[in-house]
Amino acid sequence: MAATETLRVVENHARTYRRIWRGSIISTFLNPILYLAAMGVGLGVLVDEGAGRQSLGGFDYLTYLAPGLLAASAMQTGAGDAAWPVLAGIKWRRTYEAVLATPVAVRDLITGHLLWVTLRLLMMTTIFSFVMVMFGATGVAEAIRAIIPAIVTGLAFGASVTAFSATTTDHTGLTNLFRFGIVPMFLFSGTFFPISQLPGWTQPIAYVTPLWHGVELTRGWALGIDPTFSAAFHFGYLGLWIVVGSLLAVRQLRKRMII
C-alpha cells in the first residue's frame, strides 16, 4: 500500500538522523538562544528605549521578535532539509535511484520526504518555543499556539524547495536560491520589524512572500493579535504553496528519475 511505502521512506530518514541527531539538537537549541540574546535582548534594549513600542503594537522588542524568528527559523529548516539532501539523493549519493528500484513510487518518496520534514519542523519549533518561554518572550500557552503556524510555514518552503531541487543540476542553483531568495525574505518579510517601515514600493513584494504570511500568523497566534488578513487567508496561501510545491516536486522528480 502507498501508506506503507511512504512510512518506509520516513523510517529511512529516521535511521539516518539517528546517527547525527546530537549535533542537530545542539544547533537547534543554540540558534534561538543566540538570536534572542543578541537581537531580542541586546538590540531590544535600544529599541525599547526609543519609540519602538509605538510601532510594535505596544510590545517590547523581544516579545515582538520571538514569534517572527520562530517562523523564519521554520522557513530555514524546511528549505534546508529540502535543498542539498534532495539534490544529494538525486545526483551525488544517488539514493533515490535505489529507493525507486523498490516498490516505492515517486509520489511515495516525495510524501515520505515531506512527512519527515514535518517531523523535523515539529522538533525544531517545539525547542524554539521552549527557548522563547525561557527568555520570557511569551507564556507557555502562547508558545504552544505558535507551533502550528510555524510548522505550516516551514512546510510551505519544504515543498516548494523540494520541487526546485528536483530541477537543479548542481549546487549553484541552491546557493543562489538561498542567497537571493531565502536570506532576503528572512531580512525583509516582517521578522525583525513591521513591513510598514519599508519603502512603499517594496511592501507589495513582501506581501506575496510566504514567509510574511507565516510571520503574521505565528506572531498573531503567539501574541493574541489579529493578523493583517484573516487567519484562513494566511493558512490558505501557505497551503497553496504546499500543494503546488508537492505536485511540482512529484512531477519534476518523475521526469528526472523515470525514463
- The better pLDDT of the pair 228, 247 is held by 247
- pLDDT value of position 69: 92
Rounded to an integer, the average pLDDT of 18-30 is: 75
Render pLDDT for 1-15 as a digit per residue (tens, 0 to 9): 468 888 888 888 888
What are the two backbone dihedrals, phi and then psi, of residue 198, each rounded to the nearest 5 degrees? -80, 160
How many other CB atoms sit within 10 Å of the CB of residue 238? 23
Query: For 200-230, what is each residue's pLDDT tens digit?
Result: 788 888 899 999 999 999 999 998 888 888 8
CA distance 160 to 71: 16
Compute the mean pLDDT over every residue in the chain, rounded to the nearest whole number.
87
pLDDT value at residue 111:
95
Reference 73, options 99, 42, 39, 43; nearest CA is: 39
Cα–Cα distance measured from residue 185 to residue 167, given in angstroms and rounded to the nearest whole number: 22
Of 69-78, 88-97, 121-130, minimum mean pLDDT range: 88-97
pLDDT tier at 16, thresholds 50, 70, 90? confident
Identify the pLDDT of residue 2: 67
**Residue 259, Cβ neighbours under 10 Å: how many?**
4
Model pLDDT for residues 94-141, shown as the tens digit of each residue: 889 888 888 888 999 999 999 999 999 999 999 999 999 988 888 899
**Which stretch of 52-61, 130-139, 141-150, 176-185 has the lowest confidence by average pLDDT?**
52-61
* pLDDT at position 53: 59
Torsion of CA 30, 36, 41, 43, to 10 degrees: 110
> Is residue 192's pLDDT more than 60?
yes
Alpha helices in the chain (DSSP H): 2-17, 21-35, 44-49, 52-55, 61-81, 84-87, 95-100, 106-134, 140-165, 171-177, 183-188, 203-208, 210-223, 231-257
Q: What pLDDT is attached to residue 44?
A: 65
> Sorting pLDDT into bands at 50, 70 and 90, what band is 146?
very high
